Amino acid sequence: MEHASPSFWNIFQKKHKVVHCEAGGSPGIEIKNLTVTYPKNTVISGLMCHFDVPSLWAIVGPNGGGKSTLLRALLGLQKPITGKVIFRGFCPCDVAYLAQQNQLDRRFPLTVGDTIAMGLFREVGIFRRYTKEQRDKMQAALEQVGLASFAKTPLQALSGGQFQRVLFARLILQDAPVIFLDEPFTGVDTRTIADLMKLVHVWVQEKRLVIAVLHDTALVNEHFPNTLLLARQFYREGPTEKVLTKANIQSMIETSQAWEAMVGEEPHG
């Protein structure tokens, strides 16, 4: 994966024209025969899947199984070699995306208020002031994530859980019909997970599509009606109780052991 520090080449990385938008039909995301490869291996191959708006999906699978890659392909940040992604009833800029927390510098000199204000960037643009209404919205978002009095707190004073709450407040302000969460609960305390899961359910009630990459299968079983199990070429999708079966998890483990064994044979370096 190539995020890390900003590179000179960032300038030339445009969004790939893989995502198509169509107006007709019931709103949702359709993935047709998607295949993504990295120089050394194929990470996703021939994936066919459909996500309705609204619904709540979990993507589960072993490390290196292509979960984050799939989200990045859906966002147009990762170019697949074949396949198509069709967005029905909304456009790529209607997607809100929460990247893995470790990609952000938690000691960056911003306050909580500054950070969540980014969620309104498309509304206010480069120059405009925040209106009274928008300030109220920000305060309401902070209250929703349980950080009502934190607007002036610097980011570096927050715990991991509080930092994740801030990012969720930013998602609230983005007010997007489709929300992607990449491992939102890694390194987050259980109380925060419970609070943020409530928020996710509210989003689904508000007719949004939420797709979350997760590790904790207990959490998925409890909260997520639909699951995509993804381990490179092996995948299963559908209602969680039909996907997270012992047989499926067993074949997932076998597939991932097969590719981990291959990695072991490669020379170091």
Partner 1 sequence: MVDFFISPFADYMFLRRALMACMALALGCGPVGVLLVLRRMSLMGDALSHAILPGAAIGFLIGGLSLPAMGLGGFVVGFIVASLSGVISRFTILNEDASFAGFYLISLALGVLIISTQGSQVDLMHILFGTILAVDNTSLFMVTGITTFTLCILAIIYRPLLIECFDPGFLRVIGGWGGMYHFLFLVLVALNLVAAFQALGTLMALGMMMLPAVSSRLWARHVWSLFLFSSFFAVLSGYFGLLLSYHLEWPSGPSIILIAGLIYAVSLFIAPFGALKRQQGRD
Binding site for partner 1 (CB under 8 A): 3, 5-15, 75, 77, 92-93, 95-97, 99, 103-105, 108-111, 114-115, 118, 121-122, 126-127, 154, 156, 174
Question: Between 264 and 269, whose beta carbon lies closer to partner 1?
Answer: 269
Element (H, E) at 258: helix 246-265
Q: Tell me how far, at minimum, the Cβ of 73 lies from partner 1, in Å.
A: 13
Alpha helix ranges (H) inside the chain: 67-74, 112-117, 121-124, 132-144, 160-174, 190-205, 217-223, 240-243, 246-265
User: Using an 8 Å Cβ cutoff, are 83 and 35 in contact?
Assistant: yes
Pairing of strands 209-214, 42-52: unpaired
β-bridge mates for residue 182, sequence order: 213
Q: For residue 153, give the amino acid letter.
A: T
Question: Between 21 and 258, whose beta carbon lies closer to partner 1?
Answer: 21
Half-sphere exposure for 217 (CA within 13 Å, toward CB): 13
Question: Between 186 and 217, whose beta carbon lies closer to partner 1?
Answer: 186
Q: Would you mind telling me the total number of residues written for the chain in this entry? A: 269
Q: Tell me how far, at minimum, the Cβ of 108 lies from partner 1, in Å.
A: 5
Q: What is the DSSP string of 72-122?
A: HHHTTSS--SEEEEEEESS-GGGEEEE--GGGS-TT-S-BHHHHHHGGGHH
Question: Between 12 and 268, whose beta carbon lies closer to partner 1?
Answer: 12
3-state secondary structure of 22: strand
Question: Between 170 and 223, whose beta carbon lies closer to partner 1?
Answer: 170
- Rounded to whole angstroms, how far apart are CA atoms 251 and 105? 37
Question: Between 7 and 82, whose beta carbon lies closer to partner 1?
Answer: 7
Measured from the Cβ of residue 73, the count of other Cβ atoms closer than 10 Å reads 25
| Order of strands, sheet of 28-37, starting from the edge strand that comes earlier in the sequence | 19-22, 82-88, 28-37, 42-52
Q: Tell me how far, at minimum, the Cβ of 148 lies from partner 1, in Å.
A: 21
User: Using an 8 Å Cβ cutoff, are 75 and 26 in contact?
Assistant: no
